[in-house]
């Protein structure tokens, strides 16, 4: 497959983008993703929204108002054809996790290889007819808004925070005041707009349009704490009661000194080699978990068919709808897939999966020294994808 250029202006390096724009300020990238042009039409996404296993939402904005505010309605999948009957003038349908439905679309993540793949969330599409939107809002994550069909006008305003007031009694987080408008442009098919976290934005369809959101996010601390607790339950030493100094005190009091002593021992454990191992595994499991359930592939394949396809020019590569990553501690490499530690791999399998995680396209010759049935298991698990030549 032809490599996809990075989605950045011609004069900008990845280092410059990360230093000056990432999580700081927006960036318009004209024709940043031309490969998206013509890939899908509105009917494709409307049909997908009706699929039983799709993760879709239908947002409608009624003309009537309550207390001066638009009335939004939200319906989540499963959606049926009747949901699209008698729609108001302004409506939008959103479909998540498009990589699962279109590996070809998932390939476009390569254009964002300057962002580590463990920070990729998913690709979402927003379809709206002329005048459709999802209101003024902000996201807690980074997003690259790529226009795939038609055109959409984007306005960007102020950065928001926890004190930002949302419109009451609406099914989605919306607000009225975007502050000073710092960006007001119409994106055509192939254009991309980077929007950092918490920056208010408002998109309005100028005609029938498809906007593809390449979202990037990091875990929150609660996810890491939960994962650490799960992993720590397998360490029997952590169940041994602590030894703590004791001084005379009232029998009913839990003194601050005792709490501080427990905190000190906890921090010492976290800063020890044992703590490093727990944190490393906890973070790796959290960021490699899928957000959506795995779809069962319709195409059946076995080891012989896989080898025949590879002999005919197909390649193996990481499946962009799954999560395959590794971390390295000195000379030890540990792999994770979809939230699971892979602890039964030999050196050859580890080296091959590392290459796949790093975005390599591997051929039949790259399978030398490895059992094809083991590679077949990776395919069945969804860690990798068989890319057939066009």
Evaluate if residue 1 carries a pLDDT over 60: no
Residues 41 and 57 in one domain: yes
Residues 108 and 27 in one domain: yes
Rounded to an integer, the average pLDDT of 335-354 is: 93
Closest CA to 3 of 120, 143, 113, 98: 113
Residues 163 and 276 in one domain: no
Helix locations, 233-302, DSSP H: 256-270, 273-287
Peptide bond into 191 cis (omega under 30): no
How would residue 64 be classed by pLDDT, with cut points 50, 70 and 90? low
Residues 232 and 146 in one domain: no
Task: Find how far residue 360's CA is from the centre of its chain.
Answer: 20
Query: In this structure, is residue 2 part of a structural domain?
Result: no
pLDDT recorded at residue 3: 77
How would residue 295 be classed by pLDDT, with cut points 50, 70 and 90? low
Entry pTM: 0.89
Query: In this structure, is residue 297 part of a structural domain?
Result: no
Residues 375 and 270 in one domain: no
Indicate the number of domains in the chain: 3
Residues 324 and 270 in one domain: no
pLDDT recorded at residue 319: 86
Find the angle CA(311)-CA(301)-CA(54) to the nearest 5 degrees.
125
pLDDT tens digits, 94-132: 999 999 899 889 999 999 999 998 999 999 999 999 999
| Lookup: tokens for 357 | 């995680």
Does residue 66 contact residue 170 with C-beta atoms inside 8 Å?
A: no
If phi > 0 it is left, if psi is from -120 to 50 it is alpha, else beta; for residue 24 that is alpha
Q: What is the spatial distance between Cα 277 and Cα 299, in angstroms, rounded to a whole number?
A: 39
**3-state secondary structure (DSSP) of residue 325:** strand
Cα separations (Å) of 83 from 60, 101, 215, 383?
10, 22, 27, 35
pLDDT tens digits, 50-62: 998 899 999 998 7
Helix locations, 30-181, DSSP H: 42-49, 98-101, 103-106
Residues 25 and 145 in one domain: yes
pLDDT tens digits, 183-228: 999 999 999 999 999 999 999 999 999 999 999 989 999 999 999 9
How would residue 63 be classed by pLDDT, with cut points 50, 70 and 90? low
Residues 309 and 360 in one domain: yes
**Which range of residues forms the domain containing residue 347?**
303-387
Cα separations (Å) of 370 from 104, 340, 353, 382?
27, 21, 11, 18
Q: Cβ atoms within 10 A of the Cβ of 244, count?
A: 11
Residues 43 and 86 in one domain: yes
Closest CA to 353 of 331, 374, 380: 374
Evaluate if residue 316 carries a pLDDT over 50: yes
Most distant CA atoms of the chain, gap in Å: 80
pLDDT recorded at residue 154: 97
Rounded to an integer, the average pLDDT of 346-367 is: 93
Number of Cα atoms under 13 Å in the Cβ half of residue 284: 21
Mean pLDDT, all residues of the chain: 91
pLDDT recorded at residue 2: 57
């Amino acid at each position: 497959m032809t490599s996809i250029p990075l989605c950045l202006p011609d004069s900008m390096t990845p280092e410059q983008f990360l230093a000056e724009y990432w999580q700081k300020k927006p960036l318009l990238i004209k024709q940043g993703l031309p490969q998206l042009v013509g890939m899908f039409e509105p009917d494709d996404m409307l049909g997908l929204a009706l699929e039983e296993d799709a993760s879709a939402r239908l947002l409608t904005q009624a003309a009537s108002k309550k207390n001066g505010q638009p009335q939004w309605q939200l319906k989540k999948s499963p959606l049926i054809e009747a949901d699209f009957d008698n729609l108001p003038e302004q409506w939008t349908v959103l479909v998540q996790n498009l990589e699962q439905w279109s590996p070809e679309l998932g390939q476009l993540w390569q254009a964002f290889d300057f962002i580590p793949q463990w920070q990729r969330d998913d690709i979402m599409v927003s379809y709206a007819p002329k005048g459709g939107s999802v209101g003024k809002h902000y996201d807690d994550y980074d997003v690259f808004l790529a226009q795939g069909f038609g055109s959409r006008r984007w306005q960007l305003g102020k950065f928001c925070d926890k004190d930002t007031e949302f419109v009451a009694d609406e099914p989605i987080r919306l607000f009225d005041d975007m502050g000073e408008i710092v960006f007001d442009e119409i994106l055509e098919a192939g254009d991309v707009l980077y929007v950092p976290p918490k920056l208010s934005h408002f998109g309005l369809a100028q005609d029938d349009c498809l906007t593809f959101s390449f979202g990037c996010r990091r875990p929150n601390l609660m996810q890491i704490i939960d994962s650490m607790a799960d992993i720590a339950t397998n360490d029997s030493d952590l169940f041994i009661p602590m030894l703590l100094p004791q001084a005379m005190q009232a029998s009913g009091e839990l003194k601050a000194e005792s709490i501080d002593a427990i905190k000190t021992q906890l921090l010492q454990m976290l800063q020890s080699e044992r703590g490093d191992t727990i944190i490393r595994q906890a973070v790796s499991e959290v960021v490699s978990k899928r957000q959506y359930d795995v779809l069962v592939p319709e195409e059946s394949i076995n080891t012989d068919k896989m080898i025949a396809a590879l002999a005919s020019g197909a390649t193996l590569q990481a499946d962009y709808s799954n999560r395959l990553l590794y971390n390295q501690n000195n000379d030890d490499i540990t792999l994770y897939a979809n939230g699971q530690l892979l602890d039964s791999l030999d050196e050859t399998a580890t080296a091959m999966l590392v290459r796949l995680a790093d975005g390599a396209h591997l051929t039949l010759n790259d399978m030398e020294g490895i059992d094809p049935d083991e590679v077949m298991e990776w395919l069945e698990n969804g860690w990798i994808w068989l890319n057939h030549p066009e």
